[in-house]
């Protein structure tokens, strides 16, 4: 199994909407130092249990993670340079383009996912797997009709009646051996964006990224009656799971994901910085010195 992370620098460095959650300035973290601490600890925590970990990024990402921070990825790719002409608000495209590049069974992990054991093993042999799912159709109730009313040439894969019977996936991790499905899924997402880049300034990009990344896949699976494995087998309705249960590490909790607003929660960020400094001091010192040099 190939394990992959991806970093597209264009949304990260764009400060036009730096205080707007819908964009991904500094990756959604309060500042670059905290983002780099989280990313470094994510890489090192995953690598500890799954050594075959690779990074797909662009030139700026190589400068940071390979040259400056010297993270121990098995390989580095600059393939996300191909996204230079895409809208900075479409921050999930770096992930989807990375899915598209895979030619063998893979597992993609977000840069704010941290592992404290071989917790992924139960799902890795499945044709398709993800982190979790819920039945929350309301998160798409604004963007779904807007896209169909205002966008052009919307692929039929986006056509669906919102329903609480659909399992809406969360892709903190995603992967599997169903490579053909990933190719089709990502091609439909890019088709939608390629036809409508001129409209992305007028929409809630936060919701839109979830729409083409998570709603699209969920709908395709529902229409085709395809099943998927989930790291959390029961639905996360009503936020049933605590994805930041640091106090239960490592016995009751071996998987942490700083979803959404958790990236700005000081108690969790303090945990990440402290753990990185304690467990991987050489990487922490290198990161600290880099940030001080860059006045970050």
Better-predicted residue by pLDDT, 86 or 242: 86
199-214: pLDDT as tens digits? 988 888 888 998 999 9
pLDDT at 17 over 70: no
pLDDT at 20 over 80: no
**Mean pLDDT of the residues in the chain:** 91
Of the ranges 18-22, 152-156, 237-241, the best mean pLDDT one: 152-156
pTM summary value: 0.94
Neighbours of 75 (CB within 10 A): 12
| CA atoms within 13 Å, Cβ hemisphere of 69 | 28
Q: pLDDT grade, residue 39 (50/70/90)?
A: very high
134-170: pLDDT as tens digits? 877 878 888 999 999 999 999 999 988 888 778 888 8
Of residues 156, 141, 134, the one with CA closest to residue 220: 156
Where is average pLDDT lowest: 103-112, 256-265, 270-279? Answer: 256-265
What is the model's pLDDT at position 120? 97
- 36 close to 69: Cβ distance less than 8 angstroms: yes
pLDDT at 217 over 90: yes
pLDDT at 245 over 70: yes
81-135: pLDDT as tens digits? 999 999 988 999 999 999 999 999 999 999 999 999 999 999 999 999 999 888 7
Mean pLDDT, rounded, for 183-202: 94
Q: What are phi and psi of 215, to 5 degrees?
A: -60, -45
Distance CA 10, CA 61 (A): 10
**DSSP line for 133-176:** EE--GGGGTTHHHHHHHH-SS--GGG-----TTS-EEEEEEEEE
pLDDT at 238 over 70: no
Mean pLDDT, rounded, for 191-203: 92
Q: Alpha carbon 241 to chain centroid distance? A: 18
Distance CA 131, CA 241 (A): 11
What is the model's pLDDT at position 99? 97
What is the model's pLDDT at position 203? 86
Q: pLDDT grade, residue 19 (50/70/90)?
A: low
What is the model's pLDDT at position 194? 95
What is the model's pLDDT at position 134? 81
């Amino acid at each position: 199994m190939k394990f992959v992370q991806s970093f597209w620098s264009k949304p990260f460095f764009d400060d036009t909407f730096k205080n707007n959650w819908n964009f991904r300035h500094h990756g959604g973290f309060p500042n670059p130092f905290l983002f780099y601490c989280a990313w470094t600890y994510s890489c090192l925590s995953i690598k500890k249990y799954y050594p075959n970990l690779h990074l797909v990024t662009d030139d700026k990402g190589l400068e940071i993670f390979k040259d400056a921070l010297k993270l121990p990825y098995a390989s580095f790719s600059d393939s996300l340079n191909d996204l230079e002409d895409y809208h900075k608000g479409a921050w999930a495209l770096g992930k989807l383009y990375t899915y598209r590049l895979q030619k063998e069974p893979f597992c993609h992990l977000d840069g704010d996912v941290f592992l404290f054991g071989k917790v992924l093993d139960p799902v890795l042999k499945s044709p398709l797997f993800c982190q979790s799912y819920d039945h929350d159709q309301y998160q798409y109730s604004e963007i779904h009709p807007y896209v169909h009313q205002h966008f052009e040439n919307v692929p039929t894969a986006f056509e669906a009646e919102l329903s609480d019977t659909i399992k809406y996936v969360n892709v903190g991790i995603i992967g599997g051996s169903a490579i053909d499905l990933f190719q089709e899924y990502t091609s439909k997402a890019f088709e939608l964006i390629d036809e409508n880049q001129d409209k992305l300034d007028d929409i809630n990009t936060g919701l839109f990224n979830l729409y083409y990344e998570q709603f699209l896949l969920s709908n395709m699976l529902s229409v085709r009656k395809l099943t998927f494995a989930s790291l959390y087998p029961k639905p996360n309705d009503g936020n049933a799971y605590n994805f930041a249960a640091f106090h239960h590490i490592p016995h009751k909790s071996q998987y942490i994901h700083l979803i959404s607003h958790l990236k700005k929660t000081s108690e969790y960020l303090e945990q990440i910085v402290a753990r990185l400094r304690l467990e991987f001091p050489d990487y922490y010192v290198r990161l600290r010195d880099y940030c001080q040099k860059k006045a970050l």
